[in-house]
Amino acid sequence: MTRDYEEYLKDDNLHINWYPGHMKKTKEMVQNNLKLVDVVIELLDARIPLSSKNPEIDKLAHNKPRVVVLNKSDLSDRAKLNKWISYYQSKGIKAIPVDTLKGSGVNKIVEECKNVTKEKMDALKEKGRKERAIRVMIVGVPNVGKSSLINKLTGRKSTQTGDRPGVTKGKQWVRLKGNLELLDTPGILWPKFEDQKIALNLAFTRAIKDEILDIDTLGLKFIEKMSEIEPEKLKARYKLDSLGQEPLETMEMIGRKRGFILGRNELDYTRIAKTVLNEFREGKLGQITLEVPEDIEEA
């Protein structure tokens, strides 16, 4: 490896700031249509509950009942997941762990939506209003599993149910099971990542597409993170007796173990980075959660 490439990989200037134009439109759509819904379902990634939480949602939906859903719970560390559930419970919010691919926990979302809107629905009945579906909005960052959740809640591939009274023409509602209706919104990020740790966590889980990032440095950053919080799982997966003194050394050890060698005995750093990131995302490194509630105080 040349010294230039070593310095390149050690460079700490991986600055992530991604906010496509459609994200601005999504935020405006959420803001303009919150008055139409009874409850907001906030979908978080159980591996990064802090980083996948959009702070804009607290501002936009502060006066709406909210249900927090911790998706990809099957890929997360159970002990840390329980800490997050307890944290939200202390805030008076029920956090529901789910696996949207298998459907586990999905029925509890329907139950909780009914619980948090019961007072409002009972009040409508007392006024003689005709019973109607509970209207929900699901918000979450890209790639957090919103489409999978919607498909599980519909029991089939999502279908639009047409315009509803009080809804601007063109707004479509999706019929869900349990007498719920969903106003769908795209995934939403926020304009500026003030904390690059949060930006990195989003990139690790592919909420930000690999194609717009420096994948070699991202892989190195992930190895650095794993060396700090889950060194044993890193060693076990790549059959390492120990980790390197520096993340770059560990990256090279992984590359040699996997035989990721180019010509002239040079390591294929891009392949190493892609492999480590993909194996984390697929759960092959084990059940991993990258942050705990205590990190909120540091954020």
Q: Where in the chain is the domain with CATH 1.10.1580.10?
A: 3-16+192-298
Model pLDDT, residue 21: 59
Query: What is the side-by-side strand order in the sheet with 180-183?
Result: 95-97, 66-71, 39-45, 134-139, 180-183, 173-176
Q: How far apart are CA 213 and CA 237, in angstroms?
A: 25
What are the residue ranges of CATH 3.40.50.300 in the chain?
21-183
Domain 3-16+192-298, what fold? Conserved Hypothetical Protein Ylqf; Chain: A; domain 2 (1.10.1580)
Q: How many whole angstroms from its chain centre is CA 290? A: 12
Tokens representing residue 290 in the block: 């990258």
Please identify every stretch of the chain with a pLDDT value under 50, giving residue numbers as ranges. Answer: 1-5, 8-10, 158-170
CATH for the 21-183 domain, from 3.30.70.1060, 3.20.20.70, 3.90.1150.10, 3.40.50.300 = 3.40.50.300
Task: Give the pLDDT of residue 14.
Answer: 63
Alpha helices by DSSP H, listed for 168-262, are: 196-204, 215-229, 231-238, 247-258
Write down the H helix ranges in 36-155.
55-60, 78-90, 106-126, 146-154
Q: What is the pTM of this model?
A: 0.85
